[in-house]
Chain A
Amino acid sequence: MMAEDGIRLTEEQKKRRRARNIAIGLAIGALVILFYLVTIVKLGPGVVNRPL
């Protein structure tokens, strides 16, 4: 086990990485909401109107 290998991030880098991850998470969440809204706008009630 080479636990010492690799890039070791400083506490500051870890803090920034966490902030970036949160921002990416929020962006993905916003995309999900956007696709949901546009689906409703484009299809409206027709969203469930398809052959089963």
Chain B
Amino acid sequence: MSLADAQGQMIDETAWSGGHGGVSDYFALLKPRVMSLVIFTALVGIVLAPGGIHPVLAATALLCIAIGAGASGALNMWYDADIDSVMSRTRNRPIPAGRVTGSEALAFGLTLSGFSVFVLGLLVNWFAAALLAFTIFFYVVIYTMWLKRSTPQNIVIGGAAGAFPPVVGWAAVTGSVSLESLVLFLIIFMWTPPHFWALALFKSGDYQAANVPMMPVVAGENSTRNQIFVYSLALAPVGVLPWLMGFAGFAYGAVSVALGVAFIIFAYRVWTTREGDAARRASIRLFSFSILYLFLLFAVLLGEHLVTAFVSGLA
């Protein structure tokens, strides 16, 4: 078959832009850095859940959650290609750079979404699969298609999508949702706004150019600083909840208090430093620290649980 345009004329076949994507481009569509945080938090959900699960099934659940998260990333990049091509941070992503077409990314994302949910349901349990499907739907439809372009609360509500993986991991083991898994959800949910608003503070020009209503663009930088500080004050005690509720030990309690105080100090610096290069540096520092904060909280939660299990196994 030849390709013909609307006027019935032959299209230069070399003009077809598909088929250029290499394996690494498709891997980039999965947002591997976001995926690594998803894998890590989901793993914590799996390990902390009571009852235990066969390691093969745990690995299967983790794989499905990772692929589901990657599929959401691909669908996000498909829908947001117009925005991505404007922003310096995202200009080199496979679609705006022309290495993968939008429809190729869409097909890739939909296929992986279907596979990840189906395999999780078939091999682990359907409740976890339903949660994973909801997470993908929430990230792609509620956040990417709707909230991101319409409200400065986009990442506040959209943050729920990033907070679901430990809940899905927990559900893979127990087949249910519990208060403990909701606390893990709450930690990531409360962490997301100060994390992304710190990024938006030093990338607000990008978001403005792309017409994305991020908080600094809509409400101004000072209002964003106020909200970052308020969220940080709320996040710090939420981070300590696993210890207060008794499903984490003293080591976690001590680390989470110290990290929470440090988070508030970094946020306070962002709040009070409002001019020039120092303000920019403060927001970059908070952004960098926020990643470390979440990683350390979950790492200690995981490490402490594994050590406790090992010691009680010896006894």
Contacts and interface: CB of A to CB of B under 8 A. Distances in A.
A31 B14 CA distance: 36
Contact of A16 (B2, B3, B21): B21
A19 B26 CA distance: 11
Interface in B1-38: 1-3, 13-14, 16, 19-23, 26
A8 B16 CA distance: 9
B3 A23 contact: no
A32 interface: no
Category for how many chain B residues contact A: 10 to 19
A16 B60 contact: no
B26 A20 contact: yes
B1 A6 contact: yes
Query: Looking at chain A, what size class is its interface with the partner chain?
Result: 20 to 34
A12 B119 CA distance: 34
B57 A20 contact: no
Given A6-B2, A35-B123, A19 B60 contact: no
A3 interface: no
Interface of B: 1-3, 13-14, 16, 19-23, 26, 54, 56-57, 60, 63, 119, 123
Interface of A: 5-10, 12-13, 16-17, 19-20, 22-23, 31, 34-35, 37-38, 41
